[in-house]
A and B are shown apart, each in its own frame.
Chain A
Amino acid sequence: MSRTDPRDMSPRPGAARRRRLVAALSYGILIVFAITTMLPFLWMVNASMKPLDAVEELSPIPRPSRQAAFVLNQLAEERDIALHTASTADRLGMLIDAFGAEAVRAALPDPAAFPADPEALRQAAAALPPAEAEALIERVAASRFSLLRYYGRHLAVNYDAVWNSKDISFQRYYFNSVFVAAWVTTLHCLTSAMAAYAFARLQWPGRDHIFRLYLATMMIPGVVTMIPNYTLMVKIGLLDSYAGLIIPASFSAFGTFLLRQFMLTLPPSLDEAAAMDGASHWRIFWDVVMPLARPGLIVLSIFTFMGNYSSFFWPLVLIKSEHLRTLPVGMLYYDTVYGNQTNLIMAASVMNIAPLILLFILMQRHLVAGIQLGAVKG
């Protein structure tokens, strides 16, 4: 665009309108992206609350025949009637009983031709040609359909089936995942903070060489170290154990690096003042540096926790016993066993992801700052 473009000499009457147009366009594009981001999640949640045969329907509102079937099923259940053996008259009686004769009569094409007395109406309607009677039943039942009850019911059934599943113990997997991730987070933050203290706050010969060694290994892909680590676990008998999941994940060059960067920003006069007062190095570390490094520690603990909660490769190769599986591995086996039961699989996925979403919403301010801190300085 040339420098003398007259359109850009503001302020001009068109400028405000153009700015509004740009703003509207921005919102439009952002909303389209937001919908694209959300759709898979929405489908997942919706599918997790449906009966299996309804999963293939795109619309969240079931078609009339399914609505009618759901209402009839509920009524039959309340009345302890076996629906598949109930005659047309039985089902009509059930509807009249539940919703009143007037509701059934009004759904007929010619209400005036039918009696108002419930029992007489039931017999008259049952005497209709079968197709008409069935259509009547579907109309009446579908008109009393409640979306809330429908989803409430299937949500309860599906999630109960997953949570209390006999062959796949999700409760156990939750415990394992949280237990392991909590240990890893605690140990990882502690070892990283101690090492970071040595790198950032103490002067000693060879410090920068060793730090450079740490940095260099951050580039090594995980697959290189995974194989020897696995054979090491086999050798020292930590295969298929909590310790095998926790210990190797509790040390990293990344955590040390992140906290070192953070501790470098604290003024050195702090430790000097504390040292003057006769504080030991451990006291300085624990009572002076650690509280000030809290923002960095929070970021590192969130990263560690969620990274470990979602980690898949290591538990997959290390764990053989069913009762030691973590959620991601459990999820994989659930998918293998119940692969065709999409509604249950999706309920399991929701249960897997929900804690992460909760953690994310609670911690998002810290996280955004942390991601930018970690990368900009990296």
Chain B
Amino acid sequence: MKIRRSTRTMLVAFAFLAPNFIGFCTFTLGPVAFSFGAAFTNWTLARTVPLQFVGFENFVRMANTPEFWVYTANTVYLMLGIPFSIAGSLFLAILLSGPIRGRIAFRTLFYLPTFTAGVALFVLWKKLFNPDFGPINLVLESVFGLPDELTPGWLSSTRNLIGLSVESIGFEARQWGLGARDAIMIMGIWVAVGGGNMLLYLAGISNIPQELYEAAEIDGAGPWSRFRHVTWPQLAPTTFFIIVMSFIGGLQGGFEQARVMTLGGPAGTTTTLAYHIYVKAFEEFQIGYASAVAWVLFLLIFAVTAVSWRFGSKHVSY
């Protein structure tokens, strides 16, 4: 008996797909469904109470816990570095696109922090930020003559640049300064400026037709004008993509930094949503509640993506 050709192709396709698809179902699709279910239960690994569905209780509890909102604010605060890092990436990409020797050497160097980012690098920055012995404060004292009591407390301080208060959402004058969140933000900018975003901008710039610049030059456009009317609009799709990806990354970020550098402190100021989920799930074993927070994070990311798709298709054009 002869099997039909299309059936045969389908069997072959399934055979090729199977290893990946089984793994995909086991470790991605299944867990997503499972985690959605778990978010509506009181599941804890300690099992002090019988497992049962509790409806929206986890979500209600979350909304009524001030810490949850503080951690959300922390997450958003750390994302304030994103515009600076994107602007820096664009700036570097423009410089590197000029008539520069050693372009590859510079590019390699700038990309190094992104490539090596991880526990070792975070341990390094923890040392750099040490308020008493770290080189950053030593430079502030010996080179810039800042008196000891004025140097920032960095990772041990709850202060921040917008005066966000500690235990609730609000602002306090005495919270102004440079603290743990700023340290992590500064480190994040240092890591990201010469990273993937810069490479994307470099690729974007090399794709801009040279005629546009020639035409602008004939019209007498100066460097700023060429940037404003040629480079920037031509790079709009790249910028848009980078902003969306940075937002998505930022919302999920901060876990490694918190675990390695601060354990979420001082006073929870570096606890982001991702680190909060880790603590709830793997230190307090509240699987149900942690899943609920994870789903809130997922919905936030989903919302950002959905809104940006809408906005993107309307406003970004070539």
Question: Which A residue's beta carbon lies closest to that of B300?
Answer: A221
Complex interface bits, B106-120 against A, C-beta within 8 A gives 1, otherwise 0 = 111111110111111
Which stretch of A86-94, A119-127, A349-357 is in the interface? Answer: A349-357
What's the Cα separation between A232 and B33 when bound, in Å?
A: 13
Complex contact B23–A251 (CB within 8 A): yes
A37 and B194 form a contact (CB under 8 A): yes
Shortest beta-carbon distance from B149 to chain A in Å: 19
- In the assembled complex, B277 has its CB within 8 A of some CB on chain A: yes
- Chain A residue numbers with a CB within 8 Å of B128 are 40, 43
Across-interface contacts of B220 in A (CB, < 8 A): 1-5, 8-9
Interchain CB contact under 8 A, A310 and B118: yes
A40, B190: Cβ atoms under 8 Å? yes
Residues on A with beta carbons closer than 8 Å to the beta carbon of B287 = 227, 231
Do A195 and B16 form a contact, CB below 8 Å, given A33-B194, A217-B28? Answer: yes
Known interface pairs A1-B220, A40-B190; A372-B200 also in contact (CB < 8 Å): yes
A42 and B96 alpha carbons, distance in the complex (Å): 23
Q: Who on chain A is nearest to B195 by CB?
A: A371
What are the interface flags for A140-170 relative to B under an 8 Å C-beta threshold, 1 for contact and 0 otherwise?
Answer: 0000000000000000000000000000000
Give the distance to chain B from A208, nearest Cβ to Cβ, in Å: 12
Neighbouring B residues of A194 by C-beta, 8 Å: 16-17, 19-20
Instruction: Kindly provide the distance from the CB of B142 to the nearest chain A CB, expressed in whole angstroms.
Output: 7
Q: Is the Cβ of B301 less than 8 Å from the Cβ of A219?
A: yes
Pair B95/A29 contact, Cβ less than 8 Å: yes
Binds A, one of B53-61, B62-70, B74-82, B288-296: B288-296
1/0 per residue B85-117: CB within 8 Å of A? 000000010011011100010111111110111
Q: Number of residue pairs across A and B with beta carbons under 8 Å?
A: 260
Give bound CA distance, A25 to B63, whole Å.
Answer: 52
User: A58 touching B135 by the CB < 8 A rule?
Assistant: yes
A191 close to B20 (CB less than 8 A): yes
Q: Mark A318-337, 1 if CB is under 8 A from B, else 0.
A: 00000000011101100100
Please count how many residues in chain A sit with their CB below 8 Å of the partner chain's CB atoms: 97
Query: B10 interface residue, CB < 8 Å from A?
Result: yes
Asked whether A186 is an interface residue with its Cβ less than 8 Å from the other chain, the reply is: no
Distance of A357 Cα from B109 Cα, bound (Å) = 10
Q: Are B20 and A228 in contact (CB under 8 A)?
A: no
Tell me if A135 is interfacial: C-beta within 8 Å of chain B.
no
B7-54 interface (Cβ within 8 A of A): 9-10, 12-14, 16-17, 19-21, 23-24, 26-32, 34-35, 38
A65 within 8 A of B: no
Partner of B16, one of A4, A198, A232: A198
The answer, yes or no, to whether B217 is at the interface (CB within 8 Å) is yes
**Chain B proximity of A296: nearest CB distance (Å):** 16
In the complex, which residue of chain A has the Cβ closest to the Cβ of B225? Answer: A1
| Segment among A77-85, A100-108, A110-118, A199-207 that sits at the interface with chain B | A199-207
Residues of chain A contacted by B223 (CB below 8 angstroms): 22
Question: How many angstroms between the C-alpha atoms of A285 and B16 in the bound complex?
Answer: 10
The verdict on A38 contacting chain B, using a C-beta distance below 8 Å, is yes
Within 8 A of B (CB), among A9-46: 9-10, 22-23, 26-27, 29-30, 33-34, 36-38, 40-41, 43-44
B120 pairs with A5, CB closer than 8 A: no
**Interface status of A256 (Cβ within 8 A of chain B):** yes
Asked if A225 is at the interface of the complex by the 8 Å CB criterion, the answer is yes
**With A26-B95, A224-B32, A253-B24 given, is the CB distance from A353 to B120 under 8 Å?**
yes
- Set of chain A residues within 8 Å of B123, measured between Cβ atoms: 331-332, 335, 345, 348-349
A353 to B35, CA, bound (A): 35
Q: Is A214 an interface residue (CB 8 A)?
A: yes
- The residue in chain B whose Cβ has the minimal distance to the Cβ of A329 is B119
A33 CB contact (under 8 Å) in B92, B241, B302: B92
Query: Is A245 part of the binding interface, using a Cβ–Cβ cutoff of 8 Å?
Result: no
Measured between alpha carbons, how far is A43 from B130 in the docked complex, in Å? 14
Query: Is B83 at the interface (CB under 8 A from chain A)?
Result: no
The residues of B that contact A198 with a CB separation of less than 8 Å are 13-14, 16-17
Additional 11 contacts, C-beta under 8 A, given A190-B19, A349-B120? A2-B220, A4-B220, A23-B100, A30-B95, A37-B110, A191-B19, A221-B274, A228-B38, A251-B28, A253-B28, A357-B115
User: What are 30 sample pairs from A and B whose C-beta atoms fall under 8 A apart?
Assistant: A5-B222, A9-B220, A23-B100, A30-B92, A30-B96, A33-B193, A40-B125, A55-B133, A194-B17, A195-B17, A198-B14, A198-B16, A205-B6, A210-B17, A221-B251, A221-B301, A223-B255, A227-B35, A251-B28, A285-B16, A310-B118, A312-B118, A312-B256, A328-B119, A331-B119, A335-B126, A345-B127, A346-B127, A353-B120, A357-B115
Closest 5 CB pairs of A and B: A251-B23, A228-B31, A195-B20, A352-B120, A310-B118
